[in-house]
């Protein structure tokens, strides 16, 4: 049983977590082993995400006055939260883990003040991460330059063939 002082410390800690993160996903973990939970926490930690098992009643007190207040009705049963700045990576990790472990249930969440259903979380998990999006943009931007370079580096006979083919089209 938690003492009053420990409860106050827990509430302040949770308030800080809610204040310093852009997204929160709420899950039920009933039926997961300690080893499975540790594996999920380790994966999350690699990406700077906090996965924390919560005390529902006290967590609801910590939600008071926070941007995640709308989540309060999701805190019942064996609940854990994933708190992060990058909602896409959190959603990807949770969705992948839930597919492999049926005991982890994603209940919902909030991203940038927008409440999310379970389906919303699954949709977010299909989006590219910031790194993936940047790589695609770079690929798109460098593609035309690569074609020009390959033409310029081709032997003279290939350029002549290409020029001849282009002249026939005109």
109 & 152 share domain: no
Overall pTM surpassing 0.85 (yes/no): no
Question: Structural domain of residue 157, as residue ranges?
Answer: 130-169
Q: What is the per-residue pLDDT across 118-159, written as a single tens digit (0 to 9) for each?
A: 999 999 898 887 788 788 888 777 777 666 666 666 666 666
Same domain (yes/no): 121, 140: no
The two tokens of residue 34 are 């300690």
**Mean pLDDT (whole number) for 104-118:** 90
pLDDT digits (tens, 9 = 90+) for 22-41: 999 999 999 999 999 999 99
Residues 67 and 9 in one domain: yes
- Asked whether residue 98 falls in the same domain as residue 149, the answer is no
**3-class DSSP state of 67:** coil
Asked whether residue 87 falls in the same domain as residue 9, the answer is yes
Same domain, 23 and 67: yes
**C-beta pairs of 29-37 under 8 Å, 24+ apart in sequence:** 29/53, 29/78, 29/79, 29/80, 29/103, 29/104, 30/77, 30/78, 30/103, 31/102, 31/103, 32/101, 32/103, 32/104, 36/101, 36/103, 37/80
State the burial class of residue 28 (Cβ atoms within 10 Å of its Cβ: 0-12, 13-18, 19+). middle
| 85 and 139 fall within a common domain | no
Residues 6+ apart with CB under 8 A from 74: 26, 107, 108
pLDDT at 154: 63
């Amino acid at each position: 049983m938690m003492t009053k002082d420990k409860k106050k410390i827990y509430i302040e800690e949770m308030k800080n977590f809610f204040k310093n993160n852009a997204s929160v996903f709420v899950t039920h973990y009933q039926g997961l082993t300690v080893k499975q939970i540790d594996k999920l926490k380790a994966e999350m930690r690699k990406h700077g995400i906090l996965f924390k098992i919560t005390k529902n009643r006290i967590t609801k007190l910590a939600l008071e006055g926070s941007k995640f207040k709308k989540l309060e009705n999701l805190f019942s049963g064996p609940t854990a939260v994933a708190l992060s700045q990058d909602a896409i990576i959190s959603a990807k990790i949770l969705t992948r883990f839930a597919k492999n472990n049926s005991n982890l249930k994603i209940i919902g969440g909030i991203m940038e003040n927008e409440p999310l259903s379970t389906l919303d979380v699954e949709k977010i998990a299909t989006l590219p991460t910031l790194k993936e999006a940047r790589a695609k943009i770079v690929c798109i931007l460098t593609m035309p330059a690569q074609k020009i370079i390959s033409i310029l580096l081709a032997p003279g006979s290939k350029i002549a063939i290409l020029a001849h083919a282009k002249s026939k089209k005109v």
